[in-house]
Amino acid sequence: MNELPRANPQVQALLEGCNDLLRRADVHELRRTFQPGPQGLQLDEPTPEQLQDVYDTACRLCNEGNFRFAAPLALHLVTCKPGDMRFSYLAGACMHHLGMHANATRFYCYTLVNGGDNAAILYRLAECLLALGDGVNAEKALDAAIEVARDTEVPQEVLAAVDTLFDSLRSQPGSRQKGTA
C-alpha cells in the first residue's frame, strides 16, 4: 500500500502537503512550523466541515489498515483542535498501529484528560505501556478500565480483551496477583 487511496481532493492535497513538508524539513523547521506566533506557519482556521472531511478520510484509511496515510491527517486534526478527544484518540490509534507506542501513550493520555475515563482507551493505553515494558502502569490502566466498566456500559468485547490482557500480565513473573493492591 504505497499509494494514497482515493480521497476528497482537498484532503488529498493536505495529506500530500504534509508528506512533502515531512520529507524536506529538518527537525528545527518542523519545530518552528508548529510553534504559535509570527515565526510559525499561519493557516486559516479550518471549518467544521473541513475538519469532518479530514476526520472521515482518516477513519476510512484506518479501517482499511492504511495507518501510515491516516497518521498525518490525525496529527493535522490534533493540531487544529487539540481539545477534541476524537482527534487525539485517532492520532493515538495511528501511532499505536505504527508501533510508535511512546507517542501513542501521550495521545491516549491526552484523550483521557479531554474526554473522561473510557475503558477502551485505558485498554489501548495498557497495550502500549506493556509494549514499552511498563507492566506496573499497564496494570494500573487495566485496573482503571475495570473500574470504569463497573460504572458505564462497556461492550463485551472490550471487557473480554481487558480480562485477557490482565490474565496475561498477571501470569508474568514479578506481577501482582489478582485481588491484591
Q: Cα dihedral sign for 155, 92, 87, 84? A: positive
Cα–Cα distance, 77 to 58 (Å, whole number): 10
Provide the pLDDT confidence category of residue 106 given band limits of 50, 70 and 90: very high
DSSP state of 42: -
Angle, helix 119-131 to helix 156-170, in steps of 10 degrees: 30
Give the predicted TM-score (pTM) of the model. Answer: 0.71
Angle, helix 119-131 to helix 85-97, in steps of 10 degrees: 30
- Looking at this protein, which amino acid is placed at residue 117? D
Cα–Cα distance, 62 to 153 (Å, whole number): 25
Mean pLDDT (the chain) is 80
What is the four-CA torsion angle of 48, 51, 52, 58, rounded to 10 degrees?
-170
Q: What is the CATH number of domain 1-100?
A: 1.25.40
- Looking at this protein, which amino acid is placed at residue 79? T
pLDDT tens per residue, range 25-80: 555 555 555 555 444 445 568 899 999 999 999 999 999 999 999 999 999 999 99
Domain boundaries defined on the chain? 1-100, 117-181
pLDDT tens per residue, range 152-180: 787 788 888 888 887 888 887 665 544 33
